[in-house]
Structure 1
Amino acid sequence: MNFKNALRSMERLQSLSIGMLASNVIMAGGLTYAIVAINNTHERLVIIPPHLDAQVEVAWSSANREYLKSFGLYVATLVGNIQPKSSTVVLDAVSAFMDPAIYTEFRRQALAIIQDPVFKTSGAVMTFQPSTIQFESETSRVFVTGSLITKSGLSQDKQKTVTYELGVRIREGRPWVSHFTSYEGSVIRTVAWHINNSAREGQPIPQHALPVSMRAPKAEAENPFPQTAFESVPVSEDASDER
């Protein structure tokens, strides 16, 4: 009897061991899955900055329209208020957000103005007063329209309505400007505007104006500056030729 009892105990022990082993395997698999999921998941931040009346959301590869609009306003305001004494500081601050595809061309155009002797000695002061901010979700573009006032001792003050157009992307939790240009007027160049213009002028629609899902890879690097954002600043002939 003792032998039989011992045998039954051994069988129960083996069954228990097998059950514990299977349980440990399942737990290990679940733990591994959880670790992988945590490593591949990034937190989404929801904040309400003091200068906004709506909450903004920023994730690892996306953000809501309020955040993108506020970022577009920030960049447009910096560019539109560039001054001779603070030009280098402003350029460095803005350039930090430029996508590598347009970084070199952006700095080249900006430096052509900043390093121009007429701009340095004229005491020109640019003031941009934004009036509207619009966002096009299909193309992830921000349009900031306002009055650009250029004051210079060489001539009378100049004022005109301009629109700064920015393509904004979120990568690794931070914003990047993938497309940047400006033009006179308050008519923003939306997808509909480009479709009508293409039909009228017979020109292809630029890649940056196509919905994001329809763009070719690395398309926004193509001709990112059809017009300069600094054209209202007085420059010498040499600087104009360089641009």
Structure 2
Amino acid sequence: MTAPHPYTRYIAIGDSLSEGLGDPSPAGGHRGWADRLAEILAGHQPGLTYANLAVRGKTAAQIRAEQLGPAIELEPDLVTVTAGMNDLVRSGFDAASVVAEVEEMFVRLTASGARVAIMTFPDLGKVSPLARRVLPRIVDLNTRLRATAERHGVAVLDVFPHPVTTDPRLWSDDRLHTSPLGHARIASGMAHVLGLPDHADWTDPLPPRPPVPVLRAVGTEVRWAVDFLGPWLWRRLRGRSSGDGCSAKRPEPGPVTLSA
């Protein structure tokens, strides 16, 4: 079989999105879109090896400082980067500073010879009403990321324009992380951006949902506030991060086992 892509070593760096939160693995831990993308790549290139250095809760500056060097040392020919979400929700957010950190990653990764890919952010206000206030930040950050990626020849999975990316079924109950279906769509979208065949349908809408009774909708909002919003705010007030004490789930490149 002729491989439709040239990649033999794929490294993922980033935050909880790349770590795979919201997508439990049958073997324990988290699967996520990067694992799923590695499986897609390995299906066409059986010799592919894959490492995932992403850690939940990390800001763009932390990803650059802690993951970039180790990623380059692994000599990848493909690197995906997810960074900026944990910056977006902080009070001191500065888009220019975040993009400067991301651009440094682009510069060093592309100089190493790796193909680099990123993704934009969806309209989170359509996922959680409390996130509507960050829409101007998202638009600004996405615009800067697209321009920076273009300057450095970085591939972009642009999720913002596509309505399906804010369908609640693509998001986990906490509304911060994508669901297994959401991770699958991201993996398919990234495969499409990288030129693999048979993944152009990643933007297809899901079937219509039945209407939700008002009382049930209100109850869902209350449970979300108690179970997820409250604990998240408490961590912020204490200056804690969900990534404190966590390490990379797959720090060394290894072969990819294809799911049945």
Scaled by the length of structure 1, the TM-score of the pair is 0.23
Choose between structure 1 and 2: higher strand proportion.
1
Q: Which has the larger radius of gyration?
A: 1
